[in-house]
Amino acid sequence: MAQVDQARTAPRGLRGIRAPREVQVPRMVRVAQRWATPGRCDVDAEIRRQFDAPEVARRIPKGGTVAVAVGSRGVAEIDRIAAAVVQALSRHGARPFVFPGMGSHGGATAEGQVEVLAALGVTEARVGAPVVSSMDVVELGRLADGSGVYWDRRAHAADAVVVIGRVKPHTLFRGPFESGLIKMAVIGAGKQRGAMSIHATGPKDLEPRLREAWEIVRARTPIMCGVAVVEDAYDVPVEIAVVPAEAFVDREPGLLTRARSLMASLPVRDIDVLIVQEIGKNISGDGMDPNITGRYLSPHVTGGPTVRRIAVLDLTEETHGNATGVGMADFISQRVVDKIDLEPTYMNGITAAITEGSRLPMILLTDRDAVSTAMLTTQRPAEGDARIVYIRNTLTLGEVAVSTALVPHLEPHARTISKPFALEWSGDGSLIPPLAPVPVGARPVWGDF
């Protein structure tokens, strides 16, 4: 008996359970979505043209060092954009280097942040400039409440700084500027210490704190300009704007409005179960974008579809074990748990002072168990009429799959492109993805709408 008790209390790995019973998933159809878009801009030509404009070119220090901040978000073609910025600066006689502008990401270590950039294709060989990473910061000043404003020490010592930032709706707050150049300049370049200081009072205060901190950054750093990127619903760069530092506050709201108007969305508004194949920091700062799923970590932000249950099946390789956002799911597979690295996951939540996104939801042994349990708990007992949506991730929504019960409820921008089919599972209970992998920016082919 003593041996049995000891066995029951011995440490063991965290293992998921089986679903109470297996549920038959309704037949699905593939759905293509088409959104209005102005089309891809010529990234290289736009960056070259705008850096050559006199109002920008005169700011570039000839023979001086220019630090180029590159973040960890899944910005489309970020390696190409960074390389074009480096080339433009070099052509005007500057000596650029890249530094990670990503707060605490990469486990809040210099080495981890270099690895994150490398996973995004941003390496010295690719962009044509050294990648200089350090977590050392200087204090620039303090907010009215005494919170410190910090900045990357090596960037601060440069002759000039350029920040690259995608402008888009934030996942935690609303304001005239959300994700973009100001947030990149204050939080990204502030490294872990700066990010933690600005986030300390929670998402409701982020916008005014960013604005207050930005004035300190602008006055006490060599920040020269920002390269703002606006993407369409296909995650394609449609606008590049090189913005002088003093114009950030004036220019960002308009860029944000445009970005919001071009965002992707799910094809229906009322969903019983959303199956998400993968989440990760390269997909969204929250792993899966709440602006798409309607699941927010902040009570101060609303909008999006109604989703009763979310099942997450995997982490992306590019997220390097950072499972931030997993707490927005209701169920995860064992595969997700096995890939989680607690160091970057927890550090991300601690730095943002938002720990809910790092909590573990219910763990099910297999994908099939996770989906079955999600369906069993929707509080809508008619299994045959379940409203199911499958997506690869919240960045790739040009093609999704929905259960047949949802076909009459598709939004005008969506239409079916297949006959009904059954989801298939491998012998170990893993879902065989019903959608073929597609390159970022690919558009659905569906003939006449």
The predicted-structure confidence for 153-207, as pLDDT tens digits, reads as follows 999 999 999 999 999 987 777 888 888 999 999 999 999 999 999 988 887 888 8
- The reported pTM is 0.82
Q: Give per-residue pLDDT as tens, 197-215.
A: 998 888 788 889 999 999 9
Mean pLDDT lowest among 11-20, 149-158, 237-246, 338-347: 11-20
Whether residue 363 is predicted with pLDDT greater than 80 in this model: the reply is yes
pLDDT of residue 6: 35
Share of the chain above pLDDT 70, in %: 93
Q: Give per-residue pLDDT as tens, 402-430.
A: 999 999 999 999 999 999 999 999 999 99
pLDDT of residue 449: 39
Write down the architecture of domain 43-261 according to CATH.
3-Layer(aba) Sandwich (3.40)
Helix residue ranges, H only, 300-421: 334-339, 342-352, 367-376
Over residues 310-325, the mean pLDDT reads 94
- pLDDT band at residue 302, thresholds of 50, 70 and 90? confident
DSSP secondary structure letters along 77-88: THHHHHHHHHHH
Please write down the HEC assignment for all residues of 122-179: CCHHHHCCCECCCCCEEEEEECCCCCEEEEEHHHHCCCEEEEEEECECCCCCCCCCCE
| Nearest CA among 226, 243, 182 for reference residue 207 | 182
Q: Where are the chain's structural domains?
A: 15-35+264-432, 43-261
Over residues 65-75, the mean pLDDT reads 89
Mean pLDDT lowest among 68-72, 89-93, 123-127: 68-72
- pLDDT band at residue 381, thresholds of 50, 70 and 90? low
| Nearest CA among 318, 257, 260, 329 for reference residue 291 | 260
Whether residue 12 is predicted with pLDDT greater than 60 in this model: the reply is no
Whether residue 447 is predicted with pLDDT greater than 90 in this model: the reply is no
Whether residue 320 is predicted with pLDDT greater than 50 in this model: the reply is yes
Whether residue 219 is predicted with pLDDT greater than 90 in this model: the reply is yes
